[in-house]
A and B are shown apart, each in its own frame.
Chain A
Amino acid sequence: MRHRMVVVEGSYAVAHAVKVCKPNVISAYPITPQTHIVEDLSQFAADGEMNCEYMNVESEFSAISALIGASAAGARTYTSTTSQGLALMHEALFNASGMRLPIVMTVVNRALSAPINIWNDQQDSISQRDTGWIQLYAEDVQESADMTPQLYKIAEDEDILLPAMACMDGFILSHVYEPVILLEQSLTDEFLPDYSPEFVLDPKNPMSFGAFADPSTYTEFRYKQEKAMGVALKRIEEVAIEFSEKYGRYYGGLLDGYMLEDAEIVIMAMGSVIGTIKDTIDMLRKEGERVGLLKVRSFRPFPADEIRKALKNAKVVITLDKNISVGKNEGALCTEVKACMYNNRDVLAPVIGFMLGHGGRDIPISTIVKMINKAKLVEKGIFIESEFADLREDLA
């Protein structure tokens, strides 16, 4: 494996993965820290390495809108954005999903303004939770790149047809140089079938897209979207396995466990912090602590059943959120993990939510150890509902 690796920037690895998926139309607007992806893609296009239309549009809103048109015309489409750009797309995200257009987008996760802050957290994609997009979160550069063909395969499945976001942490993954295997064109050609939708904008078969639905028909659109998410739930797992058989790499499907079997304290998290948590667990395991990790790879669809199964033996669950629902004093993962446990008796472990890493605040091992120690207080009957794990007391 090592001999096939090269040290490249995360953004380059993703751009390269996009290239081998052969999108017909790419439309994007530059925004830090996503810029390198679109710069690399522009360069590929300029060098004649991609047979695609690369559109320099005047805003993220037009970027996604152009792809709605292109996807309806039957094209495989790609864009990437972050933060404010994703927020600007918000309205069109619902539209792309409602029209069942399998657009794939890399979201380079970054905080939202105000105050303006260009660094990583996951508030941007979490805030698009209900738009009907599939959302997977990557833990490293390789996974960020590998998600691209996986998501095309899932999104374009004729029983799914939903747009999808590959979420990678801004800077931490987009700007890191590390050894990766650049996706091989030949393997990708074998792995990813052509996109050939049943209906496209075609004068020879002139269908109408985006009709107006009144109360007598609207509900079923939502119902079928939800059903498609259910299909995606299975497909994400299957495609991850198909990918591992073809490329030899696996990061979990919906979830992935690390030292989970006998873990009493289970940490749940998404994105690049997974690696740091693994190192923390290795360290604590040496000290005899029974700590494990449950990585959430798929946030939409949300794998509630699988989470309950995975947490069966947990005594305490810790969730890490690089986001907050202001007014709930919780991050989204915390809320959803708690919610999926309520109506059954499979898991009785308390869930402690920690919010951290906002606006790029670093998450060192010491912060994770601090959270684990707090979780242990549950045994003594001290229970924390949810809190910021890395507040600066001098500013708070």
Chain B
Amino acid sequence: MKLIIKTVVKPGSTRANKTGAWRSFMPVFDHKLCSKCGICEIYCPEGVVNKLENGFFEPDYEYCKGCGICANECPKKGIIMVLEGK
């Protein structure tokens, strides 16, 4: 066995850590109100609001921490924050 510890770590490996568990409020995206501007995607600190094939956006709830920036910044008020478990 190599004595050398892997002092380096693999890129993007935090994906093992599912931060969706941090969330107490979850953003719910209302596509009817969406203008597909993409601001929600830009300002997601987790980088987990993804563009769907149909041009709408959805967060990856495995990682979304529920910060609510997307809801706050949505110019159409098309994202609402809902208490988890409700």
Do A and B interact directly, with beta carbons closer than 8 Å?
A: yes
Q: Is the CB of A208 within 8 A of B8?
A: yes
User: Which residues B1-31 have CB closer than 8 A to chain A?
Assistant: 2-5, 7-11
Distance, CA A225 to CA B1, complexed state (A)? 15
Interface band, chain B: under 10
Which of chain A's residues have a CB closer than 8 A to the CB of B5?
Answer: 100, 220-221, 224
Q: Is the CB of A99 within 8 A of B4?
A: no
Let me know if A228 is at the binding interface, CB within 8 A: yes
Q: Is the CB of B11 within 8 A of A159?
A: no
Distance, CA A97 to CA B73, complexed state (A)? 46
Q: Which of B2, B3, B4, B10 contacts A207 (CB 8 A)?
A: B10
Distance, CA A55 to CA B45, complexed state (A)? 38
Minimum CB–CB distance from B63 to chain A (whole Å) comes to: 19
Q: Is the CB of B8 within 8 A of A209?
A: yes
The chain B residue with its CB closest to the CB of A217 is: B5
Let me know if A161 is at the binding interface, CB within 8 A: yes
Minimum CB–CB distance from B52 to chain A (whole Å) comes to: 28
Which of chain B's residues have a CB closer than 8 A to the CB of A211?
Answer: 9
The chain A residue with its CB closest to the CB of B8 is: A207
Q: Which of A98, A99, A207, A210 contacts B11 (CB 8 A)?
A: A207
Q: Is the CB of B7 within 8 A of A100?
A: yes
Q: Which of A98, A161, A208, A210 contacts B4 (CB 8 A)?
A: A161
Minimum CB–CB distance from A14 to chain B (whole Å) comes to: 29
Let me know if A231 is at the binding interface, CB within 8 A: yes
Minimum CB–CB distance from B14 to chain A (whole Å) comes to: 10
Which of chain A's residues have a CB closer than 8 A to the CB of B9?
Answer: 207-208, 211
Distance, CA A159 to CA B3, complexed state (A)? 6
Which of chain B's residues have a CB closer than 8 A to the CB of A48?
Answer: none
Q: Is the CB of A206 within 8 A of B7?
A: no
Which of chain B's residues have a CB closer than 8 A to the CB of A129?
Answer: none
Q: Is the CB of B7 within 8 A of A227?
A: no
Q: Is the CB of A159 within 8 A of B8?
A: no
Distance, CA A278 to CA B49, complexed state (A)? 75
The chain B residue with its CB closest to the CB of A201 is: B8
Let me know if A390 is at the binding interface, CB within 8 A: no
Q: Is the CB of B3 within 8 A of A231?
A: yes
Minimum CB–CB distance from B79 to chain A (whole Å) comes to: 32
Minimum CB–CB distance from A34 to chain B (whole Å) comes to: 29
Let me know if A158 is at the binding interface, CB within 8 A: yes
Which of chain B's residues have a CB closer than 8 A to the CB of A159?
Answer: 2-4
Distance, CA A2 to CA B8, complexed state (A)? 48
Distance, CA A228 to CA B10, complexed state (A)? 23
Q: Is the CB of B4 within 8 A of A199?
A: no
The chain A residue with its CB closest to the CB of B5 is: A224
Distance, CA A209 to CA B10, complexed state (A)? 9
Which of chain B's residues have a CB closer than 8 A to the CB of A207?
Answer: 8-11
Instruction: Offer 6 A-B interface pairs, CB within 8 angstroms, sorted by A.
Output: A99-B7, A159-B2, A207-B9, A208-B9, A209-B8, A221-B7
Chain B interfacial positions (CB closer than 8 Å to A): 2-5, 7-11
Chain A interfacial positions (CB closer than 8 Å to B): 98-100, 158-159, 161, 199, 206-211, 220-221, 224, 227-228, 231
